[in-house]
Amino acid sequence: MENRGNVIATEKYGSREVWDYRVKNGVMRRERAGGGGETAGSAIMSTLKSVFLPQGYPESVSQDYLRYQLWDTLQAFSSSLSGTLATQASLRGVGVGSQEATVAAATVTWLLKDGTGMLGRILFAWLKGSKLDSEAKKWRLFADVLNDVAMFIEIAAPYWPAFFTLILCVAGVFKSIVGVAGGATRAALTVHQARRNNMADISAKDGSQETLVNLAGLLVSLVLIPLITNNPKLTFILFFLFTILHLFANYKAVRSVVMETLNEARLSIVLHQYLLDGRILSPAEANQKEPVFLEFKRKVPIKLGVRLGELVRDFRELQLALRNTTQAYLIGIQNGSVCVCLGSDTSVHDEIRAACQAVCLGAVLHLSPQGGALAQLSKTMNCWELVAESYKLTDQIFQPFLTGLDQAGWQTDRTLLDWNEWRVDWKKMS
């Protein structure tokens, strides 16, 4: 066997490349571990990885990164092609190619579309901005569905010339909402994917991937445009095919995300399983069960971080609320909703505890459990007695539940629970 010299040092680049430094006859050389130098193919692959993947991949990102990015790439490609169809329809609608159209009329239409879109962006960010972190998957999928709706409206708009400007403005509002929801949830997912405080690098490489996909979509669009021009039937057929692919890829993308941070949905899933059989679901198991479609009407709303006036209506109820608790939060039931008031010195663990108790109360109000730890609570009819019993149940289960969360791989030093910012200081009454 050939003597290649003694290894005096070994270096690696993440887990992808390992190199040995060898000395033979006083000469030091560098070679890939396992023998052989770097081939042209491996050099090209290494360059492509460094261009399109975050530095230190795969150790520098979450385990679901590659699976999510592959589906995200597919949805971006199909969306790019649908966007081409919508853009052509919009241009035809404002009069491109028509002898009767004027530049001024087309400009006014486009300005109105952009203006209403800007207003929609501001309004949506005001109303729903705080929800985008806690329910990133749901809003990510919602944004892509709304984007497809907006593009369909743009394609159909030229067939309603009397309402073209109005329809285009509606599509502009929808797309502005897509921009806010899509961008914000993309940022939330980037925080999840970053494992070395490398959010900027992941975001930059995501932009490179998206640019490459859009470039591929542009090349395909150059082939499609001559085929769909003055052919509305083919335009709609291709749009529906691209939309089906887009929605399927988006669904698979959000389903592939495994977040280790608790939001209300994941906490509810894990807590109910724990109360049922004492088992703590892993992040992968809970994420697989997490719903990814928005619920516009919840059966028992849970309001976290409310004003004191939303929790109690008079001094007597305040006395009942204070008598029931020794915790850094108050909890009660008002108008069919479970309300939680936080103290000013509430810790993250207190927040998780309060959310657990609220989830239990919500489950009892929604339906009477057939068995398990919640069955006893369902027998209590008075709201404040029910709250008092829920404190006792939480006292029994919370500490072992929290320990189980840590052991199962959940992050308990921060949460994505949708807390409002109200904080209340109260004095204990005798």
Q: Where are the domains of the chain?
A: 6-52, 65-256, 264-408
Q: What is the pLDDT of residue 371?
A: 46
Phi and psi for 425 in degrees, rounded to 5?
A: -105, 130
Between CA 144 and CA 137 the distance in angstroms is 11
Between CA 250 and CA 419 the distance in angstroms is 28
Block mean pLDDT (10 aa), the chain, length 430: 72 74 79 66 79 89 94 94 86 59 69 88 91 92 95 89 87 93 92 92 93 93 87 91 96 96 95 94 96 82 92 88 83 90 91 94 71 52 83 93 96 92 77
Q: What is the pLDDT of residue 95?
A: 57
The one-letter amino acid code at 105 reads: A
For tokens 């309060």, what's the residue? Answer: 354
What is the CATH code for 65-256?
Answer: 1.20.1250.20
Q: What is the pLDDT of residue 157?
A: 87
Of residues 390, 363, 14, the one with CA closest to residue 195: 14
Phi and psi for 419 in degrees, rounded to 5?
A: -85, 135
Between CA 77 and CA 338 the distance in angstroms is 43
Distances (CA, A) of 27 to 5, 7, 8, 21, 136: 9, 12, 12, 10, 56
Strands of the sheet with 302-304, listed across from one edge: 302-304, 337-342, 329-334
Q: What is the pLDDT of residue 178?
A: 94
Strands 6-13 and 17-24: antiparallel
Q: Do residues 426 and 419 lie in contact, with contact meaning Cβ atoms separated by under 8 Å?
A: no
Q: What is the pLDDT of residue 367?
A: 63
User: Which pTM was predicted?
Assistant: 0.85
Q: Assign 3-class secondary structure to 46-108.
A: HHHHHHHCCCCCCCCECCCHHHHHHHHHHHHHHHHHHHHHHHHHHHHHCCCCCCCCCHHHHHH
Distances (CA, A) of 405 to 126, 147, 204, 304: 34, 37, 33, 21
